[in-house]
Amino acid sequence: MAETCKICQKVYDADVDFNRHLKAHKIRVIEYYQQHLPRYDLFDNSIINYKNKEQYFSTDFNNKNNLKNWLKTQSLEKQQEYCKSFLIKRKEKKNLEYTPSQVELRSVLSPSVIYLQEIFGDYYKLAEEIGFKNKYVYPKSLDNLSKLQTKDSIIYIDTREQKPFIFNMASEVRTLKFGDYGFSHPSYDGKLYFERKSISDFIGTLSAGYERFCREIEKASEAKANMVIIVEESLNNTLSFNYLPHVYKKATKVNPEFIFHNVRELIQKYPHVQFLFAKGRKESVRIIEKMFSTDENFFKYDLQLCYDLKML
């Protein structure tokens, strides 16, 4: 889309040419937009922070707290109107096919699935009306799950796993075609695998190791297997890993925005993939054992949503 300079009225078709042109006026890109095309946070009226052109013109708030606080001041009808409009715009701009998951929404300036469920009564029904395809159903309760007879159960640990979990169930080391953990049981279809990631592994995999990781996901897709990438860190911490000194020094060339852009792309591209952020190794072990020791089809649920609701 062509851009007309507000200073001299010259027209440029490409952003790169326009940005180069601004140097002649001795003004930075951020200063140009904030001075000549100012946009303000709907909650506190502060100038919108400029990161890039797309972000600047699509953002209504500078942070999630301002979004939450603004929504609290609005009527239910206004809350619904704003959130529905946000979802429609995001679907069109990003060409999304599937209903945004908890991880997707929590990693952008948006209310979570939990909030949307609360104000609309049925988030997935709303999403379907907008034109999304639903991969999941909203969890009602996961309290009374049917237990498998664990005497015949074995958790398979891939031979390449360098820091394997220690389980309270029988385990066996063997070569897996994909993932770090699989499962065997007479009544189990074997279509669920876990890929374990420390936060540093996660950052490396979703940046420098991205293409290789996509190839592994493709293998799981060809086998029609579901894969959970379980990260040994809370989602909040992972979303702000650039503020974690013990982590960020190992990944100074990337930021959370870049990493979670890739996460969202994978979630949309591969319906059989989910990301689940747990609070440490013990929690990760507990979740894997729970999902491997019942006959529930967990993959019909958004797993991060279940975890955030304390159902998993």
Q: What is the CATH number of the domain that holds 274?
A: 3.40.50.10130
Q: How far apart are CA 44 and CA 61, in angstroms?
A: 9
Same domain? 91 vs 157 = no
Same domain? 184 vs 302 = yes
Same domain? 94 vs 176 = no
Q: What is the pLDDT of residue 128?
A: 98
Same domain? 109 vs 53 = no
Alpha helices (runs of H) in 37-122, residue ranges in sequence order: 53-58, 64-72, 76-94, 102-106, 113-120
Same domain? 110 vs 154 = no
Domain that holds residue 161: 150-308
Same domain? 160 vs 298 = yes
Q: What is the pLDDT of residue 247?
A: 79
Same domain? 218 vs 267 = yes
Same domain? 100 vs 21 = no
Over the chain (312 residues), the average pLDDT of each successive run of 10 is 92 93 94 96 97 93 97 98 97 97 97 98 98 95 70 88 91 93 76 94 94 94 94 96 80 86 97 96 95 85 96 92
Task: Tell me the β-bridge partners of 157.
Answer: 173, 181
Using DSSP's 3-state secondary structure scheme, residue 260 falls into: helix
Q: Which own/partner pairs from 114-117 qualify as long-range (CB within 8 Å, at least 24 positions apart)? A: 114/305, 114/308, 114/309, 116/83
Domain membership of residue 290 (yes or no) is: yes
Q: How far apart are CA 122 and CA 116, in angstroms?
A: 8
Same domain? 186 vs 99 = no
Domain membership of residue 163 (yes or no) is: yes
Q: Is the dihedral of CA 296, 300, 302, 308 positive or negative?
A: negative
**Cα 120 to the center of its chain, rounded Å:** 22
Same domain? 115 vs 261 = no
**Number of domains composing the chain:** 3
Same domain? 111 vs 236 = no
Same domain? 296 vs 155 = yes
Q: What is the pLDDT of residue 250?
A: 64
Task: Tell me the β-bridge partners of 228.
Answer: 194, 274
Domain membership of residue 103 (yes or no) is: yes
